């Protein structure tokens, strides 16, 4: 069992910096142990959340609860801010992912001022700056809640395929280390692997096995980059039946062996 990495208190990070250690850090399927809000101010790309892929562009705000699998493209022209709330934010935050398309200039400006205020207080050393930053973070949570309320009535009802794929990503997040395959997870969901893959292709253009391998290989790259665990132990911890199978799967997804990837860092 690999112990989870400690998570810092809430913080703001420029979106391009998230990919500073490799675009795989944001593009591969993974989940976080804390909620995150992505505010895109320039550029466009695609984001996959709980197995559903959508396009994003400037003035899109995306809230992702803790434990929800996701990944998004971050090209050289993409700019914005990621707000990590920490594990115990103590705030009223949505329980479901949100994709907010903010068209009102006033709402865009209100959000930018709030983010600037949080960062300014985090950077300050004046008395009470930490409490002031926390207060502004609370205002951000209220802003998200109000924007979510505006779109609640217009939100389309999730169809059967999207519901199933969202459930699949939940199961995958619990089981990806266990060695369970797509067939096992489909059985847990009461469907066939063929039907599950058909739904995955419909909602995000990828097969179920692609999503599962992407999640496992992201975790492998993270462990190779951030720990000194032996390669074979990393493969075992992620449910690969043998070191050879792990190496083949890793090379297929990344173009290099686990050892070569670690050396390249």
Per-residue confidence (pLDDT) for residue 21, from 0 to 100: 85
pLDDT digits (tens, 9 = 90+) for 100-124: 999 999 999 999 999 999 999 999 9
> Domains in the chain, ordered, with CATH?
11-152 (2.60.120.280), 160-264 (1.10.10.60)
Q: Does 5 have pLDDT greater than 70?
A: no
Give yes or no for residue 6 having a pLDDT over 60: no
The pLDDT tens digits for 25-49 are 999 999 999 999 999 999 999 999 9
3-class secondary structure, 43: coil
3-state SS class at 94: coil
Supply φ then ψ for residue 40, to 5 degrees.
Answer: -95, 125
- Looking at every residue in the chain, the average pLDDT score rounds to 93
Q: At what angle do helices 208-226 and 160-175 cross, to 10 degrees?
A: 30
Q: Which of 220, 188, 219, 193 is nearest to 207 (CA)?
A: 193
149-205 pLDDT, tens digit each: 988 766 566 799 999 999 999 999 999 999 999 999 999 999 999 999 999 999 999
User: What are the counts of helices (DSSP H) followed by strands (DSSP E) for the chain?
Assistant: 11, 8
- Whether this prediction's pTM lies above 0.85 is answered by yes
**Which residues contact residue 206 at a Cβ distance below 8 angstroms, ignoring those fewer than 6 apart?**
200, 214
The Cα–Cα gap between 16 and 77 comes to 9
Look-up of token digits 């990828």: 206
Q: Rounded to 5 degrees, what angle do the CA atoms 33, 25, 7 make? A: 30
Is the pLDDT score of 127 beyond 80? yes
pLDDT digits (tens, 9 = 90+) for 208-225: 999 999 999 999 999 999
Q: Is the pLDDT of residue 135 over 50?
A: yes
Query: What gap in Å lies between CA 61 and CA 97, rounded to an integer?
Result: 11
What stretches of 58-136 adopt beta strand conformation (E)? 60-64, 70-72, 79-84, 98-101
Q: Coil, strand, or helix at residue 41?
A: strand
């Amino acid at each position: 069992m690999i112990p989870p990495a400690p998570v810092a208190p809430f913080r703001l990070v420029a979106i391009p910096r998230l990919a500073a250690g490799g675009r795989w850090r944001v593009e591969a399927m993974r989940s976080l142990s804390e909620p995150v809000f992505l505010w895109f101010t320039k550029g466009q790309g695609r984001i996959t959340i709980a197995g559903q892929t959508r396009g994003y562009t400037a003035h899109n705000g995306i809230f992702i609860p803790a434990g929800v699998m996701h990944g998004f493209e971050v090209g050289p022209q993409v700019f914005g801010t990621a707000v990590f709330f920490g594990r115990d934010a103590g705030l009223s935050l949505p329980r479901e992912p949100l994709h907010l398309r903010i068209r009102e200039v006033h709402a865009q400006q209100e959000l930018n001022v709030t983010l600037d205020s949080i960062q300014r207080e985090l950077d300050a050393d004046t008395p009470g700056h930490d409490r002031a930053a926390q207060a502004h973070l609370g205002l951000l949570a209220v802003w998200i809640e109000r924007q979510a309320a505006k779109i609640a009535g217009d939100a389309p009802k999730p169809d059967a395929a999207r519901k199933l794929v969202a459930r699949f990503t939940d199961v995958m997040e619990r089981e990806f280390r266990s060695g369970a395959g797509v067939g096992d997870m489909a059985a847990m969901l009461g469907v066939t692997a063929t039907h599950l893959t058909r739904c995955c292709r419909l909602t995000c253009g990828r097969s179920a096995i692609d999503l599962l391998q992407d999640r496992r290989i992201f975790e492998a790259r993270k462990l190779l980059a951030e720990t000194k665990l032996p390669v074979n132990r990393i493969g075992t911890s992620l449910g690969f039946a043998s070191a050879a199978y792990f190496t083949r799967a890793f090379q297929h997804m990344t173009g290099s062996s686990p050892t070569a990837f670690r050396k390249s860092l």
